[in-house]
Structure 1
Amino acid sequence: MNAEIREKAEAWLSPTFDNATKEAVKKMMNENPEELNESFYKNLEFGTGGMRGIMGVGTNRINKYTLGKNTQGLSDYLKKSFAGETIKVAIAYDCRNNSKELAQVVADVFSANDIKVFLFSDLRPTPELSFAVKHLDCHCGIVLTASHNPPEYNGYKVYWQDGGQLVPPQDSEIVSVIESLDYDAVNFSAKKEHITYIDKDVDQAFIEASLANGSFSELDSHRDDVTIAFTPLHGTSVTIIPDVLKQAGYKNVHVVEEQRKPDGNFPTVKSPNPEEPEALKMALDLAEEKNADIVIGTDPDCDRLGIAVRDDSGKLVLLNGNQTMVVMTDFLLSRYFDQNTPKGNEFIGSTIVSTPMMEVLAKSYDLECKLGLTGFKWIAKMIKDHPKQHFIGGGEESFGYMVGDFVRDKDAVTATLLACEIVTQAKSEGSSFYKKLQDLYVKHGYYKEDLTSLVKKGISGAEEIKQIMIDLRENPLNTVNGERVVQIDDYASSKSLKISTGESTPIDIPKSNVLIYHTDQGSRIAARPSGTEPKIKFYISVHEPAKDLESLPQVAQKLDKKIAGIQKDLGL
């Protein structure tokens, strides 16, 4: 056994840790050295969506001690940053196993450090936590969630005063404080007088804000004509989305009963991920039974949504995150410019691995599309960094969308409402959500994207992912599917290289382990290791002009063939 790992494990046999923890460590030492290695070979790290990991004993696991240490470090940082102030934090948690207990541990540590805690009395959506941070004038917020990861995972996301997730420089500064602590420095002795439980009042404030941003009064008389099939996929959205839709005026909302009850084991799906078609199967079946106009499914913490709408033949088709984002953004922009005189300070937001169609859309409205790294914390940072500009909406390919800036994270609650409003308006005009997407393809060109993820688990998997990225940098591709590579953007070195001239220009985005190839035919291939899962992801984007609606099927086939060729060349 590696001596360093054994030393780390033996430290967990000290009186600092409870008996159950010590017994679990001893058992791994004696019976399962491989599991011991996986549990202690590193410390859990903050990634694109906070800290996520498998629950269990060890430094590389989610447990009361790793989260306690995080919270102690965060407490120390808050007290130093806001000296003399009464520090307040808000805490929420999702449906995952142990989330409620772990949220209480986090609340206890904050309170032990004389920090005032607002703790939701039961599970709530992640976007409501983002809202609550600003609504309650908190200094930071925490949500216990692992999003759509498998049942054995949990996680810890940190939000700052603006309601957005941690970004530089706070993230590295806080991590430095956390890493400087020993586990015996964690104060678990709760001061209950510092903990206040919150629920209905914050719920209603959030619902009213969602309605103000995501619903439109001129559609009031048309909502009865729309039928919705909805599934929370055993997650938190059931606590709020039905109420939002009801208060907006939607009466024909059908919930998948088998998936209504929150359950961290997610018993009816292999993965509670709305990106995966299988996750929405029961909702699609319900939609056919009820003749629904739209199907919506949200992930366990209710920050992402997947939707299906009816095509020209009446068949339900699943849309990807890029497609949904483009339709939602165009809807918001068209409404905004119909009702307001542009001030020239408007912008939308997206990410470097999302569809380039967002930039084309922005150009058509003569406004800016700001691009950031993967993760909504970067879109929230755009808003924070540019207070004199007006943010209208934005999204990313991984099924997240944000309407306005009252929430500073992806928000499946308001995005669900917005999607239903788009369906309502379109149906009242004899059109459809699907037809709006088709019209955008004809107007701006047909953009088609694909995401392929390679799962590489454990220590060896992490090394494989590292080597793939090294190879892509040190032995760059010259051609892909017969298309010549003309530009390589390396976000780790912050340099964009023009192949023909050898000219290198700086990239004004924070460093990240992302590499993007651009070809002479406008195709784009991005590679990045996931920040929250043991995966490396390849994002492919291709496009072609489309002269009319009738040509779209042929253009789609051509693009599918192009994507398949790129995948083959990459060995995916």
Structure 2
Amino acid sequence: MSGSNIDTKSLLEQVGQATSDGKITASAAENIEIWLTEDRYSRYAEQVAEHITSGKWKELDDAFWTIIPFGTGGRRGKMYAFGSNAINERTIGESAQGLAEYVKENVTGELSCALAYDTRHRSREFAELCARIMVSNGFKVYFLDDYRSTPELSFLVRYKKCSCGIMVTASHNPPSDNAVKVYWSTGGQVMPPHDKAIIDRVMNVQDIPLGVEFDAAVAEGKVVICTAETDEAFINAVKQQKFDGPRDLKILYSPLHGVGASAVVPALAADNFTDVTIFGPHKEPSGDFPNVPGHVSNPENPQVFDAIIEQAKKDGSELILATDPDCDRVGVAAPKTMDTTGEWGTFTGNQIGVLLADHVLSERKKGGGLTPEHYVVETLVTTKMVRRIADSYGVRTCGNLQVGFKWIGGTMDAEGPDKFVFGCEESHGYLVGQYARDKDAAVASMLLAELAANCKKEGKSLHEKLESLWWQHGYHAERLLNQKMPGSEGMANMQKLMAKFRAEPPQSVGGLKLVAIRDYQADTVTTVDGQTSKLNGPPGNLVILDLEDDNYVAVRPSGTEPKVKFYMFSYVAPEQLSLMDAAQEEMEARLDAFEKDLSAFAASV
């Protein structure tokens, strides 16, 4: 069946009947018609037609029920050969072309774009496609010609003073997915108003120019391979964030089949950590992510560490670090005591943030470099313990931010990067230094190794260090519950659930009474007696339920995946702590109760 022989009228009649029969959604039918009838999608018409005649309605609905959006980090989704709701040559190409058009309209001077990619399937192919598109639009492209980290891409944008940047990665998503993250000239991910303006261009892309082959563009100097130069400069910038101290520590590191060996290992070496082993079963760069539970390389998942911990117990390792495929997030495991053959435990993203915040602030204070103008940055769903630690060191906290590290990067520029000390988010993202505007697992790994070596010298474990911080600042326990809502029905249910939280919120959660509702979309605070006032918060689809005794729950739809996220926060003030074990048990029970009530509330939609 050739494009010219496609009976478009018959195909659209079949699509209409499938819509009437409830086999596909009306929005999918609209997008299918566009891909069948508009010239810009003509090369995909045969494949779409074959799916229609074969009755592959589920695949068609998944591929077309919406137009894949820009979320908190860019455009991300499942790879499929065609479709408006899939990652493929067309949607990747539209993303690059839309970016190019917007930058050309809004940036003066020489145009340039930084480009990098991770170990996922088709990442190199998509990176070369983006490079060709940018060159065809008059951009010089600075290209990292091997698997490299997202923070190194952020660094490269700043290092080469690029107009923009593109990172091909889907972070810690399953092997089926890929994505592009789009960066502005700051080295940060695109923010308002640029993000919405770029997506407007993306949605209206007609032709995608591919006037030059990748190798020819390299030969002509339009694509500049700068991998070795950028690696050296990047690691040197990370090294500048180090602090002096002991380095006697045996480290076991897992890149989880991603790019991390190119960043974490040289960063540790630059900080004089010499006893570092890469965990063999996770060493191979692979988009299939073998030997990882569920083939999902997410260091937020404690099960990822099970096999690594067993190896650590055998070889006497004292710290485990693991980074996600694009090496912007880091997870940590350590022995509960100084006995490396005994019980080990992982840390949540909030707990890692707490440990790093205290380490960096403590070391900066020793150097006499802290002033009341210095600041740390976190988001609205990051633990308040970071703020309490910052308060104890007499520095500011900028925390009235929506979810996503781009807001942390944006705050650095708004507040002035010279006074920036530390940025973190609960999803295992951390930054120290001015060299990037995105989270960096390399610098976080280096500083965590320093802290673990300091603790070892003091005769305590990382877990014991965290407990000492709880005694000082109060016991904080947080938990994340992901309520998955896939497909077109899921999107509708996500919207219904958010609407219900706003209009008919639960009057208690886990036995704690509701005190107020913070609605960041409406910019209002409503107390239980119905009094409403202005919130003065950052706009976004986020609702926070404030409960008794400084406990609270934040609710938001994910910006990159089909699910609603519940962030649960419990707290025991330091003056109320008597037995740590009892407080931990009580807060775990409280979070269990939160989770039970929130799951039931979500199921009622």
- TM-score by structure 2 length? 0.90
1:431 is the counterpart of 2:460: yes
- For residue 240 of structure 2, give the secondary structure of its aligned residue in structure 1: helix
Alignment partners' CA distance in 2, 1:420 and 1:550: 31
Alignment partners' CA distance in 2, 1:45 and 1:440: 41
Percent same amino acid among aligned pairs?
33
More displaced 10-residue stretch of structure 1: 397-406 or 139-148: 397-406
Question: What displacement does 1:246 show?
Answer: 2.0
Cα RMSD after superposing both structures:
1.8
Question: What displacement does 1:156 show?
Answer: 0.7
- 1:528-567 paired onto structure 2 within 5 Å: 528-546=556-574, 551-567=579-595
- For residue 251 of structure 1, give the secondary structure of its aligned residue in structure 2: coil
Cα deviation code 1:107-136 (max 9, x no counterpart)? 000000111001111110101000111011
2:191 to 167, 192, 199: 167
1:236 is the counterpart of 2:272: no
Question: What displacement does 1:313 show?
Answer: 6.2
After superposition, the Cα gap between the structure-2 partners of 1:272 and 1:18, relative to the gap in structure 1 and judged at 3 Å, is farther
2:417/2:434 contact within 8 Å kept? no
1:351 is matched by which residue type in structure 2? Answer: T
Question: What displacement does 1:433 show?
Answer: 2.1
Cα deviation code 1:479-498 (max 9, x no counterpart)? 22222211111111111223
1:506 is the counterpart of 2:525: no
Question: What displacement does 1:150 show?
Answer: 0.7
2:375 to 347, 363, 381: 347
Alignment partners' CA distance in 1, 2:506 and 2:34: 47
Which residue number in structure 2 is paired with residue 310 of structure 1?
335
Alignment partners' CA distance in 2, 1:352 and 1:163: 22
Question: What displacement does 1:290 show?
Answer: 1.5
1:22 is the counterpart of 2:45: yes
Which residue number in structure 1 is paired with residue 548 of structure 2?
520
Which residue number in structure 2 is paired with residue 78 of structure 1?
103
Alignment partners' CA distance in 2, 1:436 and 1:161: 39
Alignment partners' CA distance in 2, 1:254 and 1:346: 36
Alignment partners' CA distance in 1, 2:593 and 2:306: 29
- 1:434-453 paired onto structure 2 within 5 Å: 434-453=463-482
In the TM superposition, structure 1's runs of 4+ consecutive aligned residues that sit over 4 Å from their partners are 13-19, 546-550
2:372/2:396 contact within 8 Å kept? no
- 1:356-505 paired onto structure 2 within 5 Å: 356-371=384-399, 372-387=401-416, 390-500=419-529, 502-505=531-534
1:439/1:549 contact within 8 Å kept? no
Alignment partners' CA distance in 2, 1:379 and 1:7: 38
Alignment partners' CA distance in 1, 2:98 and 2:298: 32
1:303/1:410 contact within 8 Å kept? yes
Which residue number in structure 2 is paired with residue 87 of structure 1?
111
1:190 is the counterpart of 2:212: yes
1:179 is the counterpart of 2:208: no
Alignment partners' CA distance in 2, 1:282 and 1:410: 26
1:104 to 90, 114, 128: 128
Question: What displacement does 1:180 show?
Answer: 2.7
Question: What displacement does 1:396 show?
Answer: 0.9
Alignment partners' CA distance in 1, 2:297 and 2:42: 33
1:284 to 289, 305, 309: 309
1:256/1:282 contact within 8 Å kept? no
More displaced 10-residue stretch of structure 1: 548-557 or 426-435: 548-557
Question: What displacement does 1:181 show?
Answer: 2.5
Question: What displacement does 1:16 show?
Answer: 4.2
2:48 is matched by which residue type in structure 1? Answer: V
Alignment partners' CA distance in 1, 2:562 and 2:144: 31
After superposition, the Cα gap between the structure-2 partners of 1:256 and 1:23, relative to the gap in structure 1 and judged at 3 Å, is farther
Alignment partners' CA distance in 2, 1:6 and 1:498: 44
Cα deviation code 1:181-225 (max 9, x no counterpart)? 22xx21122271311112111001101111111x22x32xx32x2
Question: What displacement does 1:409 show?
Answer: 0.6
1:12 is the counterpart of 2:35: yes
After superposition, the Cα gap between the structure-2 partners of 1:18 and 1:419, relative to the gap in structure 1 and judged at 3 Å, is farther
Question: What displacement does 1:140 show?
Answer: 0.8
Cα deviation code 1:526-565 (max 9, x no counterpart)? 1111111111111110011356998211110011111112
Alignment partners' CA distance in 2, 1:132 and 1:48: 21
Which residue number in structure 2 is paired with residue 248 of structure 1?
271
1:336 to 364, 368, 371: 364
1:442/1:545 contact within 8 Å kept? no
- For residue 440 of structure 1, give the secondary structure of its aligned residue in structure 2: helix
1:497/1:504 contact within 8 Å kept? yes
- 1:43-54 paired onto structure 2 within 5 Å: 43-54=67-78
Which residue number in structure 1 is paired with residue 324 of structure 2?
299
Instruction: Specify every segment of 5 or more residues in structure 2 that has no aligned partner in the other structure, as ranges.
Output: 1-17, 20-25, 601-605
- For residue 571 of structure 1, give the secondary structure of its aligned residue in structure 2: helix
2:146 is matched by which residue type in structure 1? Answer: D
1:28 is matched by which residue type in structure 2? Answer: H
Alignment partners' CA distance in 1, 2:27 and 2:471: 60
Alignment partners' CA distance in 2, 1:275 and 1:474: 32
Cα deviation code 1:397-454 (max 9, x no counterpart)? 1111111221111100110111001111121222332222111100010000011111
2:477 is matched by which residue type in structure 1? Answer: K
- For residue 416 of structure 2, give the secondary structure of its aligned residue in structure 1: coil
1:361 is matched by which residue type in structure 2? Answer: I
1:423/1:433 contact within 8 Å kept? yes
After superposition, the Cα gap between the structure-2 partners of 1:410 and 1:461, relative to the gap in structure 1 and judged at 3 Å, is same
Instruction: Specify every segment of 5 or more residues in structure 1 that has no aligned partner in the other structure, as ranges.
Output: none
- TM-score by structure 1 length? 0.95
Q: How many residues align?
A: 562
1:305/1:412 contact within 8 Å kept? yes
Alignment partners' CA distance in 2, 1:533 and 1:453: 10
Question: What displacement does 1:64 show?
Answer: 1.2
- For residue 157 of structure 1, give the secondary structure of its aligned residue in structure 2: strand
1:331 is matched by which residue type in structure 2? Answer: H
2:413 is matched by which residue type in structure 1? Answer: K
Cα deviation code 1:128-161 (max 9, x no counterpart)? 0001110111111110011111111001101111
Question: What displacement does 1:346 show?
Answer: 0.6
1:546/1:552 contact within 8 Å kept? no
